[in-house]
Amino acid sequence: MLQRPRSRTALLWPVLAVVLPWAWFPLRDHLGPVGDVLAIVLPVWVVGAVLVLALLVLSRRRLRLLPGIVSLLLVGTVAVLAPWRPAPTGPVDPAGAVRIASANITDTAGDPVHLLRDPADVTVISENAFPVHRRFVDAYRYAVYGGERGTGGVGVYSRYPMQVLEGDGPDLPGVRVRVEAPVPFTLYALHVPRPWITDRGYEVTPVEHHRIMVALAEQVAAEPGPVVLTGDLNTTDRGRDYRVMTAVLTDAVRDTWQAPTSITTWRLLLLRIDHVFVGPGWCGDDPAQVLLPGSDHDAVAATVGPCAPG
């Protein structure tokens, strides 16, 4: 007996199942706050969807869904890993090199022992409690402390003299300072509120978080000289707010493969939310993630400065 040819519709569904997941990349920035939330929880919803579809295949023997399942899993993998892959900026000129570290200590829960063992030239501390501040004051000559200077709980510690240019405000969740390094630069030391639900509700909505990041990007782009922006930005590197920032700045830690910096409560979301960015003409070398025992973050560090000639 001759078999009936498969209808075009029957062939169309498997093709759509393979192609549609890849629409995430051209559409994600057009989805607004919905896309922002989906980017944050992307590993969880992709794995959940894959498991549901796999159970459907096993229970009902719908093998035509298998290519779509593989496609969805590949999309999730690429979306998570692509911003972690190395994207070297080129070498830093040793004459202007500055080692920058950024850490969310989680008030007094975290121990900065590994940061203090070999202190960077400039260290930015988010959620900076007074006992932690005292430990960094002992290690640095210059300090701007959030508990005293209106910096939104952010502390800045430096081997070089500093001048506060702007304190905490609606569009600046931290402090803006002038650092008199071998090549002076403007430093944005930040702790941007979380754009997702905690046990106390939203710190800011995804809409407000996006507004803050756009305002920061516009302000940084208008800086007349070298600029470094660092801190706990609560901005996943697979989200549109990261791309807003990298449209005007360079991610200085991507000289090697990167990994999540949110390491406890939100571990399953694979979030890299602590960043070091540099402005045009500057590069980043020797990135590192530093353990902060007791904190829910890893610290990040990089050597930054003018790009080496040639």
Q: What is the pLDDT along the chain (310 residues), one digit of tens a residue?
A: 445 555 566 667 678 878 999 999 999 999 999 999 999 999 999 999 888 888 877 776 666 778 888 899 999 999 999 999 999 999 999 999 999 999 999 878 899 999 999 999 999 999 888 899 999 999 999 999 865 555 668 999 999 999 999 999 889 999 999 999 999 999 999 999 998 776 666 689 999 999 999 999 999 999 999 999 999 999 999 999 999 999 999 999 999 999 999 998 889 999 999 999 999 999 999 999 999 999 999 999 999 999 999 7
Distance CA 238, CA 8 (A): 36
**Closest listed residue to residue 155, CA positions, set 215, 102, 94, 213:** 102
pLDDT at 180: 98
The per-residue pLDDT for 211 is 97
CA–CA separation, 217 and 118 (whole Å): 31
Which of 168, 162, 158, 167 shows the shortest CA–CA distance to 136? 158
Rounded-to-integer distance, Cα 120 and Cα 158, Å: 8
- 259: tokens are 């990994």
* Residues near 150 by beta carbon (within 8 Å), at least 6 away in sequence: 167, 168, 175
CA 63 – CA 57 distance, rounded (Å): 6
Residue 2, pLDDT score? 47
Quote the pLDDT of residue 18. 87
Per-residue model confidence (pLDDT) at position 68: 84
> Where do runs of H (alpha helix) occur along the chain?
8-19, 24-27, 32-40, 42-60, 66-81, 113-117, 130-137, 146-149, 206-221, 240-246
Beta strands in 112-226 (DSSP E): 122-126, 142-144, 155-158, 162-166, 174-179, 185-191, 197-198, 201-202
Angle (CA) 87 176 210, round 5°: 60
Answer yes or no: pTM beyond 0.75: yes
State the CB neighbour count (10 A cutoff) for residue 217: 20
d(CA 227, CA 187): 6
